[in-house]
Amino acid sequence: MHPIITRRGALRYALAAACAPGLAFAQEAPFPSTNVHLVVPYAAGGATDIVARAVADKLGPRWGKPVVIDNKPGAGTTLAAAQVARAPGDGHLLYMTTSAHTISAALYKKLDYDPLASFAALTLVAKVPLVLVVRPSLDVSTLDEFTRYVRANPDKAAYASPGNGTAQHLTGEMFNAAMKTRMVHVPYKGDAPAITDLLGGSVDAMFATLTVVLPHIASGKLKAIALANGSRIEKVPAIPTFAEAGLPNFEAATWFGVLAPASLPKGLRERISRDIRAVVDQPDLRARLIDLGGEVVSNTPAAFEAFMQAESAKWQGIARQSGAVIN
C-alpha cells in the first residue's frame, strides 16, 4: 500500500529537495576560501619563524591561497596561544608552536586556555636539540670552565632565552639545579633579540635551538660548549654532548608543530594535516630542515597529540624540580 501524500506534504518534500544541494555545498565548502594565517609566537628571524615560513612557502601554492605569517611574540607564547584558542575552527587560523606550549601549564598559575584540550593537533614537523653557546668575549671553551665561571659569579652570570616558559628557559633552570649554580634568567621576545644581545655581550650564555645559532657557530661569533642530545649531530660533529663533557642525562630539545583551534572539524583536521605532511616530506624542504639541525618527524594528528601529552608530563616534572614558576 502506497503512502498518501497530501498537497502540504508534497510541498515540504519539494522544499527539502530544493534545499538539500545547498546544504551539501555548505558542508563541502572548499578550503581554503581565503588567506590562511599561520601564527608564530615569536619575533621574525628566530627558529620557529624560519620553520613556519619554510612550510608556508610550500602550502601557499598547494592551497592556491597565500599562507600569511603572523608574528605574535610575548608572555612565553601564551599571548599567541590564547588568540588561536579563541579563533573559529575553520582552518584559516593555524598555529606553529614549540615545546613552550606544553611547558606553559607547568609554569603559569593561570591560563585562559588548556594547552591540550583547547587545540587540535595537526602534525609535529621537526625536533631540534638545544646547544649551550656563550658570548665570544667569555674566556671559556669547555663545560668545566663554563661551570667554574658561573659558580664564581652567582646571581651575575646571565643566560638568555626566547621567553619565559620556553624549553630554553627551563633547560637553564635544569642546569642550575644539576650543577648547583645561580645563573640569572633573561627572557626575550624570541630567538633573534636574545641572540643579538648574546653576540653583543649583554648576556653570557644561551641554551639555544641549534637551528638559529648554526651560522654564528660556523663563523666563530659564538662558542659552542655542549649539545643537549644523546649523540653528536652530523651537521656539527665537533660539538660534544653534555654527557661527553661531564654532565650525563642532560638532554633537551625544542620542537615545531602545527595546531588549530579545538573546534576544527575532524575531516578538515585530517585534510590539513595531510597537506602539511605532504609539503614537509618534499625532498627539498626535508633537506632544508635537516640542514638546520633538525630531525624531521611529520606525524599524524593522533601521534602528535600523544607526543604533546608526554611532553606536558615531562616538563611539569622538570618545573617542579627546578622550582620555576611564573605568576
CA 162 to chain centre: 12
pLDDT at 1: 45
**312 or 22, higher pLDDT:** 312
Q: What is the dihedral of CA 158, 163, 166, 172, to 10 degrees?
A: 0
Q: Which domains does the chain have, with CATH numbers?
A: 36-127+254-322 (3.40.190.150), 129-245 (3.40.190.10)
Q: How confident is the model at residue 189 (pLDDT cuts 50, 70, 90)?
A: confident
pLDDT at 14: 43
DSSP alpha helix (H) spans, the chain = 7-27, 47-63, 78-86, 100-107, 143-152, 167-179, 191-200, 210-219, 242-245, 266-280, 283-291, 301-322
pLDDT at 291: 86
List, for residues 30-89, the tens digit of each pLDDT value.
Answer: 899 999 999 999 989 888 999 999 999 999 999 999 999 999 998 879 999 999 999 999
Whether the CB-CB separation of 226 and 242 falls below 8 Å is answered with: yes
**Is it the case that residue 123 has pLDDT exceeding 60?**
yes
How far is it, in rounded angstroms, from Cα 144 to Cα 281?
40
Which residue matches cell numbers 663545560? 143
Side chain identity at 226, as an amino acid letter?
A
List, for residues 100-115, the tens digit of each pLDDT value.
Answer: 899 888 888 889 999 9
**8 or 232, higher pLDDT:** 232
**Is it the case that residue 302 has pLDDT exceeding 90?**
yes
Whether the CB-CB separation of 277 and 270 falls below 8 Å is answered with: no
Q: How confident is the model at residue 29 (pLDDT cuts 50, 70, 90)?
A: low
All 3 cell numbers of residue 71? 608574528
